[in-house]
Structure 1
């Protein structure tokens, strides 16, 4: 896909994350707590992804095919579970905008480090001064969102 088609998908994903924070924080109230809400969210998401995989691939992948993968590729689900759990706990306390702002800051700072060092087999991209300035501006934006 070309860049101009990927940007709207990225923006839609960002919108979905913000919506997910609000929806899951309300789910928490009826599910009996943040862990139950995160679990329900993952069950619904897993079901949707299984259906999509079946529709697009005609079947599920063989776990034997991925068994030889590096150990750290299996942590994605744990990282996602932490992310959803944290959003369920933080959103009612901090508000959606502040929660998203702090999470975005963490994402940008970690992403720059991942790119710079080529972690997780991502193609290395130097942490140039303009990229670091962009991260600093996001941190400044977080301060403004949180304070005003």
Structure 2
């Protein structure tokens, strides 16, 4: 079962990279905020149907959960909007490495503080991981500084 879950989450990660590429190109054509809105509106429509036919939760529980938990809604919008904004400028790998590093660094901090109930203290391997993550982000970003930007398909048509 562990292997299946690992494969599923790797597929999810691959779909995020593909979505980032699509959104980055779309943002160049229709705009950053417009792309983020289109993504959320279409995603909301699909989720509405899934909840309607398969949902087992309760929206009324929104009023009883700790308010900080509702920040996930705004953080999702912030994440997608910033991803759409940065991918065309720093590329898929740069955005992915920075995203994953940010997720891992915040995860290390969340685990250390014990926000979700499990306290995993910072130790030598985690400090080494933090340093390696920072090195990875710097190395990827430096490689992008050396690559000239290619004109988009729209710019190519305008040149003709």
* TM class, shorter-length: 0.7 to 0.9
- Whether 1:41 aligns to 2:36 is no
Structure 1: runs of 5 or more not aligned: none
Summarize the Cα distance change of 1:110–1:45 in structure 2 as closer, same or farther, 3 Å threshold.
same
Superposition deviation, residue 66 in structure 1: 2.5
Q: Which moved more, 1:109-118 or 1:122-131?
A: 122-131
Structure 2: runs of 5 or more not aligned: 144-160
CA RMSD of aligned residues (A): 1.8
Question: Secondary structure at 2:45's aligned position in 1?
Answer: helix
1:93 aligned residue:
89
Larger-Rg structure: 2
Q: Partners of 2:38 and 2:96 in 1: how far apart? A: 21
Q: Deviations over 1:70-129 (max 9, x none)?
A: 11111111101010000111111111111111122211111100011012x342222222
Q: Partners of 2:120 and 2:47 in 1: how far apart? A: 31
- Whether 1:131 aligns to 2:126 is yes
Q: Is the 8 A contact 1:114 1:122 kept in 2?
A: no
Q: Partners of 1:139 and 1:50 in 2: how far apart? A: 39
- Whether 1:3 aligns to 2:2 is yes
Summarize the Cα distance change of 1:56–1:74 in structure 2 as closer, same or farther, 3 Å threshold.
same
1:109 aligned residue:
105
Segments ≥4 residues shifted beyond 3 Å = none
Structure 1 length as normaliser, TM-score?
0.85
Q: Deviations over 1:25-52 (max 9, x none)?
A: 1222343x21111111011111222222
Count of residue pairs the alignment pairs up: 143
Q: Partners of 1:63 and 1:55 in 2: how far apart? A: 15
